[in-house]
């Protein structure tokens, strides 16, 4: 069974912080398929108020903390559906980026964020969430430009 098909079976399961490794493993299969990165083993994943500042690569729904290789998710993030899972996927992309040294090759720090949003948007599209994917894709396009204005 492909990681994408296996993931569909996980969408309906209630998810607790203590048993996120099976979900992370399925989502990491999607990360590998989309990016080619080797993914690290299941990272420590918790639910807490998200850090502000520091070395976190963060958003409203999740944060990857490179120093501890930990993912923190917003306490109210619902991981039982594709939309919530897309935010865990986004943070798993960051974990894979750092595990593969992508942060040393990125054109700018925002390019890492753009890549994570691109993978997230692809995941959302595959799960029938086209409008949500469009918004995420627009973020990826803006961030991926590394401050260079488009000529269109």
pLDDT in tens, 78-120: 999 999 999 999 999 999 999 999 999 999 888 999 999 999 9
73 CB contacts (<8 Å, ≥6 apart)?
45, 46, 47, 48, 61, 62, 79, 87, 88, 91
Say if CB 44 and CB 17 are below 8 A apart: no
Cα angle 29, 30, 35 (rounded to 5 degrees) comes to 105
Helix (H, G, I), strand (E, B) or coil at 127: coil
Kindly write down the DSSP assignment for every residue of 15-81, as one continuous string.
Answer: --GGG-HHHHHHHHHHHHHHH-PPPPSPPEEEE-PPP-STT-EE-SSEEEETTTTEEEE-TT--TTS
Token representation of residue 8: 């569909």
12 CB contacts (<8 Å, ≥6 apart)?
80
| pTM of the entire predicted model | 0.82
pLDDT in tens, 27-62: 999 999 999 999 998 999 988 876 555 544 445 789
Q: Is the pLDDT of residue 2 over 50?
A: no
């Amino acid at each position: 069974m492909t990681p994408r098909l296996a993931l569909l079976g996980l969408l309906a399961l209630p998810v607790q912080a203590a048993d996120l490794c099976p979900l992370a493993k399925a989502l990491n299969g999607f990360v590998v398929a989309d990016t080619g990165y080797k993914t690290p083993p299941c990272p420590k994943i918790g639910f807490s108020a998200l850090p502000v500042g520091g070395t976190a690569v963060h958003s409203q729904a999740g944060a990857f903390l490179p120093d501890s290789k930990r993912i923190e998710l917003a306490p109210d993030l619902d991981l039982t559906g594709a939309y919530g899972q897309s935010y865990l996927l986004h943070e798993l992309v960051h974990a894979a980026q750092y595990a593969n040294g992508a942060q040393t090759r990125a054109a700018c720090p925002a390019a890492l964020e753009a890549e994570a949003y691109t993978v997230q948007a692809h995941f959302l599209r595959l799960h029938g969430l086209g409008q949500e994917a469009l918004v995420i894709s627009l973020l990826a396009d803006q961030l991926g430009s590394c401050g260079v204005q488009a000529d269109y």
